[in-house]
Amino acid sequence: MNIENNFPETADIETSNDQYAARFSGGTGEWMLSVQEKITLNLIKPCPEKKVLDIGGGHGQLAIPLCRDGYSVKVLSSAESCRHRIEPIIDEGKCTFEVGNIIELPYEDNSFESIICFRLLTHCEQWPKLIEELCRVSSDSIIVDYPTSQSLNKIAPMLFKAKKKFEGDTRTWKLFKHAEVIDEFKKNGYIVERKKAQFFLPMVLHRALKLPILSIVSEGICRALGLTHFWGSPMIVKMVPK
């Protein structure tokens, strides 16, 4: 892949391309994204200024629905190519796009009321530095997602071949313990305000089934039984200053 810049971390380039987006095609993919969207839009409120900085958000999974709901979104990505999937909202003037170093953000301290960062922490080798920078430029809240090993993702190594079969270009990724993420934010002056898991069953199983109704019903049962709350993944967490 042609890396357009020599930044030390460029994991967001891959998550912004069409091949990655294909993982969420079809009814099952649309449903999975709707779960992520609903949780995030609920967590981000209230956001009085309705301005959001989206780090690595060229995939458009949240920039697009946020703009649809009246938010003004700025997306920072590692390469110019990352604007491809969000070009329509950029052209409409609802979203601005910048290229920069995701672990050395080109912004002053406390510059943004609300920051989101999705599909990035798990692939970022220098993830503590990424968290440090998110906290530095935030003045109020940060929402991130991450997969956790404190879930059925414990069997992720066994599912890697299956995941690669269905996704084609699967990369290795980091499974976090909740304390790893929470403690790193705490070092930088942020604590958990709210958190919510997306699914109980591994996402690769839902993709393999290709039966949205079955996925919706099974996950609904797991959530009602409390399984998702205690052992769900990926986790979406809203962090706020201490």
pLDDT at 3 over 50: no
Pick from 123, 168, 143, 176: nearest CA to 10 = 123
**Each residue's pLDDT tens digit, 145-179:** 999 999 887 665 555 555 555 555 556 689 999 99
What are the CA-CA distances from residue 198 to residues 32, 35, 56 (Å)? Answer: 8, 7, 20
Determine the residue type at 99: V
C-alpha Rg value of the chain to the nearest Å: 17
Residue 241: cis peptide before it, omega within 30 degrees of 0: no
Query: pLDDT averaged over the chain?
Result: 92
Cis omega before residue 65 (within 30°)?
no
Weakest mean pLDDT among 10-19, 37-46, 145-154: 145-154
Give CA–CA dist 206/49, Å, rounded. 37
pLDDT, mean of residues 201-228? 95
pLDDT for residue 233 is more than 90: yes
- pLDDT for 168 equals 53
pLDDT score for 161: 57
Q: Give 140's DSSP letter.
A: E
* Helix, coil or strand: residue 205: helix
pLDDT given at position 126:
96
Domains with residue ranges and CATH for the chain: 11-145+175-198+235-241 (3.40.50.150)
